């Protein structure tokens, strides 16, 4: 095991011999790391934190610390992180609260750029990119394959749908539609499907055509949401069905 002599590892921490712990890192007694994790330097990991394999933590990250919630009174809540994430400088990930389910969770294969904040009880899926200073309030859900632009704050209890792209500086106060390209000019708006991103993810031309038909009904056909959903249900494809289900289940309303 490669542990720099300036690192502070509490008794009880579980660290495989394949991990690299750099200078001035601090690891708490209830932390469990997976194989081949690398803490470059000055990383703090505390609380009941479970981390998978092959994650890289850049300097000054703060992982699994107490949530920024005045109601929190030291309850033994959890932080869970999957495999092969890149967590860049000054990222903060707060552990959960009992009122929010008790777990803050990050999936696998994500890139969290510098100064990203993941608030308590948030659930981040896999294969997403959160750009610099993206900020998740508590209880946010980020589904898989999302790109969240720089300086984007996301309001509590919002859901950001799978395969969506949110432009930098967008203030997200309602749910973001799956597959959408959503951005802020004078107001937040969905501008149709995230066509380039979906092509890069291997979506076929047929899948894109079906999604475009659905988005035309939803955004440009001068129908209200209920009327648009009625017509969208007649379209084919699992992607459209997922989109319909997402809208029907939204509690905060969706950005159109």
Residues 6 or more apart whose Cβ sits within 8 Å of residue 8: 25, 26, 27
Q: β-pairing, 180-184 with 188-193?
A: antiparallel
Q: Which helix (H) or strand (E) holds 58?
A: none
Hey, what are 61's tokens? 């990250």
Residue 211 covered by a domain: yes
Instruction: Tell whether 135 and 20 lie within a shared domain.
Output: yes
Residues 7 and 125 in one domain: yes
Q: Are residues 17 and 138 in the same domain?
A: yes
- Out of 78, 111, 142, a domain closes at 142
Q: Which helix (H) or strand (E) holds 27?
A: strand 26-27
SS3 88: coil
Residues 129 and 220 in one domain: no
Please indicate, yes or no, if residue 111 is contained in any of the structural domains: yes
- Judgement on whether residues 105 and 230 belong to the same structural domain of the protein: no
For residue 210, being part of any structural domain is answered with: yes
Q: Is residue 153 part of a domain?
A: no
Angle at 172 between CA 186 and CA 231, to 5 degrees: 85
Give the CATH number of the domain where residue 211 resides: 1.20.1180.10
Give residue 190's pLDDT.
84
Give me the pLDDT at residue 3, please.
96
Does 26 share its domain with 123? Answer: yes
Residue 182, SS3 per DSSP: strand
Q: So what's the pLDDT on residue 187?
A: 67
Give domain status of residue 177, yes or no.
no
Question: CA 87 to CA 114: how far, in whole Å?
Answer: 8
Rounded to whole angstroms, the Cα distance separating 43 from 7 reads: 9
CATH code for the domain of 122: 2.160.10.10
Full domain range(s) for residue 26: 2-142
Q: How many domains does the chain have?
A: 2
Backbone region of residue 201 per phi and psi (left: phi > 0; alpha: psi in -120 to 50; beta: other values): alpha
Same domain, yes or no: 11 and 89 = yes
pLDDT for the residue numbered 12: 97
6 found inside a domain:
yes
Residue 185 is predicted with a pLDDT of 66
Counting as low any pLDDT under 50, the low residues of the chain are: none
For residue 88, the Cα-to-chain-centroid distance in whole angstroms is 14
Domain contains 221: yes
Query: Which residues carry out catalysis?
Result: 120-121, 138
| Non-local CB neighbours of 92 within 8 Å, separated by 6+ positions | 61, 62, 63, 65, 116, 117, 118
Asked whether residue 129 falls in the same domain as residue 211, the answer is no
If one counts every other C-beta atom within 10 angstroms of the C-beta of residue 106, the result is 26
96 shares a domain with 210: no
Question: Please, where are the H alpha helices in the chain?
Answer: 195-200, 205-219, 225-232, 238-249
Residues 135 and 205 in one domain: no
Q: Which of 142, 169, 188 is the last residue of a domain?
A: 142
pLDDT tens digits, 120-140:
999 999 999 999 999 999 999
Nearest residue to 87 via CA among 149, 141, 130: 130
Predicted confidence at residue 131, as pLDDT, reads: 98
Specify if 181 maps to a domain.
no
Report the predicted TM-score, pTM, of the whole model to 2 decimal places. Answer: 0.93
pLDDT tens by residue, 45-85: 999 999 999 999 999 999 999 999 999 999 999 999 999 99
Residues 129 and 209 in one domain: no
Say if residue 119 is in the same domain as residue 232. no
Strand partners for 126: none
Write out the two tokens for 32.
């469990």
Task: Give pLDDT, residue 186.
Answer: 56
Distances in Å between the Cα of 221 and the Cα atoms of 44, 72, 181, 235 are 51, 47, 18, 15
């Amino acid at each position: 095991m490669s542990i720099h002599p300036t690192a502070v590892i509490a008794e009880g921490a579980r660290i495989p011999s394949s991990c690299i712990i750099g200078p001035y890192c601090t690891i708490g007694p209830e932390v469990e790391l997976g194989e081949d994790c690398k803490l470059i330097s000055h990383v703090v990991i505390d609380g009941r934190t479970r981390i998978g394999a092959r994650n890289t933590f850049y300097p000054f990250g703060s992982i699994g610390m107490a949530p920024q919630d005045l109601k929190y009174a030291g309850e033994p809540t959890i932080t869970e992180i999957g495999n092969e994430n890149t967590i860049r400088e000054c990222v903060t990930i707060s552990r959960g609260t009992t009122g929010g389910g008790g777990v803050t969770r990050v999936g696998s294969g994500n890139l969290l750029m510098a100064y990203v904040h993941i608030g308590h009880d948030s659930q981040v899926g896999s294969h997403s990119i959160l750009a610099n200073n993206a900020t998740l309030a508590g209880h946010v859900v980020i589904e898989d394959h999302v790109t969240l632009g720089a300086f984007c704050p996301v309001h509590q209890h919002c859901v950001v749908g799978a395969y969506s792209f949110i432009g930098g500086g967008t203030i997200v106060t309602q749910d973001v539609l799956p597959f959408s390209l959503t951005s802020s000019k004078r107001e937040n708006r969905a501008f149709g499907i995230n066509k380039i991103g979906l092509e890069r993810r291997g979506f076929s031309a047929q899948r894109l055509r079906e999604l475009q038909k659905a988005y035309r009904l939803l955004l440009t056909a001068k129908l209200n949401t209920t009327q648009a959903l009625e017509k969208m249900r007649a379209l084919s494809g699992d992607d459209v069905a997922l989109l319909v289900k997402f809208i029907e289940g939204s509690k905060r309303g969706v950005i159109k």
